[in-house]
Homo-oligomer: A and B are copies of this chain.
């Protein structure tokens, strides 16, 4: 690959054509319909391409094609490995389709999200995957209205005007609390917030439903609200929990996600509570760090990468299949029991 970038610009089909002594159309044919070119010329052209270090210019192809060869994912919280795993699933699918992936992080801030979306629309990405700050934000509707393939990740579509991929969060909450009831716990805390987050509301709701169905007194399911789904909020919830009068103190906690659970675990250990004997803990998401904790965390598993792969599949279907129908893909969460909820109590 002996470069001689004529005045800084990368070599184009035109340069290749000149070098190979053929017309520009022929070079294009070699690239896109090699069968139609005689093997002699094809070889000559290919040699020229190699010598010049020719690489197709995506921008030009995009301009012609009207759409880019890229997808985009706008994450809600880049600091949460859950979303990174979803992103990895998306990247796998994008790779398989030979597409590039823009990864953005809104960090939970609507205005950053909106700015990212603007940029992505300018880029004419083939499709946008997003775990939105607010599923009902108007700028999301704009995207669909623009006809840009669009999939909501980790949130079910309310209106059904687009595809979505999520697990059944209510069911997840049910599974978690059922497990704790099963373990003999009679006072349980739900740790999570803010309730502006749909996932939190639904996981909490599932917890409540089961608690009621088992005929437990509503007062024995204590809600410890948090301001975010972070480790440090988990720690602070732990402090509040430890501060409860012992007759009210729960013997188990169901946390709205694993980060909270890890924070809670840390505080419990620091405060000298034994896990699971003094306090059992269940998290949600089953990120890798849940299994890696000093006391491995029981967690409600979401098929993280598969969420991503499915979302990518849907967005590509919408982008390429004229008969595309919007689809709400729902996955079933599963309990992964580990040491943090210990052995059965009864």
- What is the interface of chain A, defined by CB distance below 8 A to chain B? 1, 3, 5, 8-10, 53, 55-60, 62-63, 66, 68, 70, 78-79, 81, 84, 87-88, 91, 95, 98, 100-105, 112, 115, 118-124, 142, 145-147, 231, 262-263, 265-266, 269, 288-289, 292-296
Contacts and interface: CB of A to CB of B under 8 A. Distances in A.
A8 B124 CA distance: 13
- Oligomeric state, in number of copies? 2
Contacts of A145: 3
Given A9-B66, A53-B142, A294-B294, 12 more contacts: A5-B147, A58-B123, A59-B62, A70-B102, A81-B84, A87-B103, A88-B105, A100-B104, A100-B120, A102-B103, A231-B289, A262-B292
B101 A104 contact: yes
Contacts of A102: 70, 100-103
B293 A266 contact: yes
11 contacts: A3-B146, A10-B146, A58-B123, A59-B63, A70-B102, A79-B288, A91-B105, A98-B119, A266-B292, A266-B294, A289-B289
Contact of A57 (B56, B63, B101): B63
Q: Which 8 A-B pairs have the closest CB atoms?
A: A294-B294, A59-B62, A103-B103, A269-B294, A231-B292, A58-B122, A59-B63, A58-B123
Contacts of A112: 95
